[in-house]
């Protein structure tokens, strides 16, 4: 008797016209992207990895490999590639996919020199280990294993973020630039129009009208109009007559009564 599938596979839905349009748009964006360099990688019988060019032009492949690591040195490019291949597990069933995944991540950084190339390799390797720790934490059989792998993954992800910040700092030369798009100055206030460094000094490209009277001092401006109290209605007191209590800052000064010297009527002694 032939085996009968109790759960026959349901036919898939037909592709809609809207989905076809999305696929064509995605294909156009994909063709506009840069195709990363790849390697041909096979595992030999003794467990080692055999590296080769993916096509019949090894010299051109070597040039692309050096460009991916931001260098003209073939030795440097091969050395960094070996660092990436060292991240492939010995029991990896698809070592070529794993190696080309990390290599594509390195080329996505577009290193401009060897220093950026090394940072890119570190970022790819850190991400590789972080994802492996997360996978081990997901399939852990004990809370201890889940905690250990989760903590290690968290540290690696923080390291990955620090590496991205280090790369950004290297590319901007260590200088920090802050750009203000919109500045709102209310009536009576003052604003500095120009570049201000960490010591609150206005640089030479400050335009006229943006001078600050305070200099490097972080105090209030000298113009009293900026700290003058706004006019408002007097506050109401809590007494029965509901007499108005003037707000602070009125013109002139008046003596305040001393509440502790109020005359009190003493009760007769018994």
Quick one: pLDDT at residue 12?
Answer: 87
| Model confidence pLDDT, tens digit, residues 58-112 | 999 999 999 999 999 999 999 999 999 999 988 888 999 999 999 999 999 999 9
Burial tier of 63 (Cβ tally within 10 Å: 0-12, 13-18, 19+): middle
Residue 128 belongs to some domain of the structure: yes
Residue 163 belongs to some domain of the structure: yes
Residue 18 belongs to some domain of the structure: no
Domain count, the chain: 1
| Model confidence pLDDT, tens digit, residues 208-242 | 455 555 555 555 555 555 555 556 666 665 555 55
Burial tier of 189 (Cβ tally within 10 Å: 0-12, 13-18, 19+): exposed
Residue 129 belongs to some domain of the structure: yes
Q: Which secondary-structure segment (H or E) carries 235? A: strand 235-236
Residue 28 belongs to some domain of the structure: no
Quick one: pLDDT at residue 91?
Answer: 86
Average pLDDT in the chain: 81
Residue 98 belongs to some domain of the structure: yes
Residue 89 belongs to some domain of the structure: yes
Whole-angstrom distance, CA of residue 235 vs CA of residue 229 = 14
Task: List Cα–Cα distances, 241 to 100, 235, 245, 262, in angstroms.
Answer: 85, 13, 12, 20
Residue 207 belongs to some domain of the structure: no
Q: Which domain holds residue 91?
A: 34-171
pTM of the model: 0.61
């Amino acid at each position: 008797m032939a085996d009968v599938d109790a759960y026959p596979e349901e036919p898939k839905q037909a592709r809609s016209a809207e989905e076809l349009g999305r696929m064509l748009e995605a294909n156009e964006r994909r063709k506009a992207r840069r195709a990363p360099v790849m390697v041909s990688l096979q595992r030999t019988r003794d467990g080692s990895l055999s590296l080769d060019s993916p096509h019949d032009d090894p010299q051109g492949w070597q040039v692309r490999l050096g460009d991916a690591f931001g260098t003209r040195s073939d030795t440097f490019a091969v050395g960094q590639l070996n660092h990436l291949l060292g991240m492939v597990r010995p029991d990896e069933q698809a070592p070529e996919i794993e190696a080309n995944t990390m290599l594509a991540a390195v080329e996505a950084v577009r290193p401009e020199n060897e220093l950026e190339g090394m940072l890119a390799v570190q970022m790819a390797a850190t991400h590789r280990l972080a994802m492996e720790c997360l996978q081990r934490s997901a399939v852990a059989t004990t809370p201890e294993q889940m905690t250990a792998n989760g903590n290690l993954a968290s540290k690696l992800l923080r390291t990955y973020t620090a590496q991205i910040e280090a790369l950004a700092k290297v590319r901007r030369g260590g200088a920090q630039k802050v750009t203000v798009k919109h500045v709102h100055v209310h009536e009576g206030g003052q604003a500095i129009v120009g570049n201000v460094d960490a010591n609150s000094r206005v640089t030479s490209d400050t335009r006229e009208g943006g001078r600050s009277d305070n200099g490097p001092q972080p105090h209030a401006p000298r113009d009293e109009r900026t700290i003058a109290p706004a006019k408002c209605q007097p506050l109401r007191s809590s007494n029965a007559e509901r007499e108005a209590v003037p707000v602070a800052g009125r013109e002139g000064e008046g003596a305040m009564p001393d509440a502790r010297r109020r005359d009190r009527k003493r009760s007769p002694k018994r």
